[in-house]
Amino acid sequence: MTNNWSNDGLQRWIEQISARDFGKPFRHYARWNTRLSSTGGRYLLKSHDIEINPKQWEANGAEEVERIIKHELCHYHLHLEGRGYQHRDADFKRLLAEVGGSRYCKALPAIRKKRTEPYRYFLLCQACGQRYRRKRKVDVKKYVCGKCRGKLTLEAIAE
């Protein structure tokens, strides 16, 4: 399967995988979703649609995306059958192993970098001395200490 970045191509690919590996049709919609950041794909419970992260294709290739599709199809088919479709359910784990889907998707390089960003802001409670580290700036007029409800001050900004 070559990626043509069209939702129609993804739809056909998911329909083929569903018929081949599950022996059941995929009757809903599939689409690429560039807004997914920390996940490879998702199954939407209300609409029964499947969304796949195209960044996984770029970073890890078609084989990894196929394993992600199988994972989402496990949620899809089990949910429609009224069986255990959640990650913790035995039905889900069993079906995932049978079809060769991935339990977890590979992390994207940009996500790893984002999560290891150093703390830039340090807050200090004036009442109890509790210190807080934050990556984003906090409005000290709006928030109070979670321990004693004391006033917070911005202690230092690390650059």
Active site residues: 72
Tokens of 42: 């998702």
